[in-house]
Amino acid sequence: MEIRKMTADDYDGVYRLWLDTPGMGLNNLDDSREGIERYLRRNPGTCFVAQKEGRIVGAIMSGHDGRRGYIYHTAVAVPERRQGIGSALLAAAFDALEREGINKVALVVFGRNRDGNRFWEANGFTSREDLVYRNKNIREFIRNDT
């Protein structure tokens, strides 16, 4: 297995992985080819894929705003789980963010995503019960919750 930086050329393989991953929340704007290419241009060194025998079996998108790091759309193919792929992707993202001066990382996980929440808790992420997560769409989009 190889961990390497994600590029725009990885889009089709990563998108297939996301579609096959229970608990992902995708939408037609941010997760479109154009949306992901825009994110990768802004965060060229902090997103990674895991590749095994020429196919993408894991992906993590991370980036920052100069103060906080954020992680999005982390996924490992279901048959490839429990082999350290997710942890290796997370380590690559942490290393990249740390090199860019980031000291703290945040993420959002659907409450119903039990596997995802177990993974993040096992990797030291805590839940913040003192916060209220809020968002507002600037543009309407179509959500595809898997």
- Per residue in 60-113, pLDDT (tens digit) is 999 999 999 999 999 999 999 999 999 999 999 999 999 999 999 999 988 888
Query: CA-based angle 133:104:110, to the nearest 5?
Result: 35
Contact (Cβ atoms closer than 8 angstroms) between residue 113 and residue 23:
yes
Q: Given CATH 3.40.630.30, say whether it is the number of domain 2-145.
A: yes
- Helices 33-42, 11-19: crossing angle, 10 deg rounding: 110
Q: Which residue has the higher pLDDT, 28 or 56?
A: 56
Does the structure show a pLDDT above 70 at 143?
no
Residues 6+ apart with CB under 8 A from 87: 123
Does the structure show a pLDDT above 70 at 146?
no
Closest CA relative to residue 99, chosen from 143, 43, 140, 139: 43
Domain range annotation of the chain? 2-145
